[in-house]
Amino acid sequence: MGIEIHLTAPLDPDTLALLRQLLGLPATDMPPWANAFLTTILERIAFMSDAAAATIARLTAAVQQNTDVTQSAAALISGFHQILVDAVAAARAEGASPAMLQPFNDAIDQITQNDSALANAIAANTAAATEGA
C-alpha cells in the first residue's frame, strides 16, 4: 500500500495539522521555533516536488520534440532517396545515358550510405541506453 502526498507552498494550517498527525508530532504545545522549522522543511519539500514535476514536464516535451524531429528527418531522407531513384528510372526510360545519370546514381549511393550510418548510430545508442537502464 502506498500513500502519495502532494504539497504546494505555502502550507495552510489545516495541512500542517494533518502532516503533524501523519508524522506523529504533537498537534499543539510545540514551541514556535519548532512550528517554524517544520513549516520551512515542508515548504521546501513542496517546492522541490514542484520543481521536479516542472523538470519532468520539460524533459517529456523535449523527448517528444526530439522524436518528432527524428521521425521527420527519417521521412525526408527516405522520401528524397525515393524521388531520386524514381527520377533516374524515368530519365533512363526517356533515353538518358548512363554517363548523364552517373551524378544522380552517385547521390543515391551517398544517401544510402548516410541512411546506413544513421541507422547504425541509432541502433548503437539505443542498445547502450537500453543496457544502462
Residue 13 has what pLDDT? 76
Cell of 77: 531522407
Cell of 132: 544502462
- Give CA–CA dist 92/45, Å, rounded: 70
pTM value > 0.85: no
49 and 6 in contact (C-beta within 8 Å)?
A: yes
Work out the mean pLDDT of the chain and round it to a whole number: 78
State yes or no: pLDDT of 133 exceeds 80. no
| 34-76 pLDDT per residue, tens | 777 777 877 777 777 778 888 888 888 888 888 888 788 777 7
Residue 27 has what pLDDT? 64
Residue 69 has what pLDDT? 83
Closest CA to 7 of 46, 44, 41: 46
- Give CA–CA dist 126/133, Å, rounded: 11
Please give the average per-residue pLDDT across 105-117, as a whole number: 83
- Give CA–CA dist 122/125, Å, rounded: 5
108 and 88 in contact (C-beta within 8 Å)?
A: yes
pLDDT confidence band for 6 (50 / 70 / 90): low
Angle (nearest 5°) at CA 108 between 105 and 110: 110
pLDDT confidence band for 118 (50 / 70 / 90): confident
